[in-house]
Structure 1
Amino acid sequence: MRIKKGFVLRDVCGEKIVVAEGKENIDFTKIINMNESAAFLWEKVKDTDFDVDTLKLLLCDEYDVEEATALADSQTILNQWVEAGIVE
């Protein structure tokens, strides 16, 4: 998987928001608010190929979390990204 070109993480009033740059930004359904761990993952995988296991390992390395919890959280985050159409 890979983050689609044209989507960037911005800090807006203290909130981490993924928005589309350019003409795609007209579609406001593609603006996504991210919590701290999701924003961390976004920053780590931007411009790289990744999968749910990559996200899991990143969470385990950064946070004090069990692998099963990290995997479940990673799958949830990835599903949200897929549903929003911001990854391919």
Structure 2
Amino acid sequence: MKRMLFNATQPEELRVAIVDGQKLIDLDIETAGKEQCKSNIYKAVITRIEPSLEACFVEYGGNRHGFLPLKEVSPQFYQPGCGSRPSIKEA
């Protein structure tokens, strides 16, 4: 069952997560007075892989680490011969 979770305990930050059971589907964080970096293209280094989230944390030169869900990676970057999206452990 999909659920949308909101965390607005801090006045300067709003966090919204979409989960399906125990699996994180999407996460958005909005900070008041801070420009969003979402939808831009960055060169980054993977710093940590989190299999339970099917995602990794990346360092892209900002003050904070980024979060990259595997579902956001374009299929053109999958290994040749892999017809479907691999699991994060295979990537």
Using the size of structure 1 for normalisation, the TM-score is: 0.26
Higher share in helix: 1
- TM-score, structure 2 as length reference: 0.26
Q: Give 1 or 2 for the bigger CA radius of gyration.
A: 2
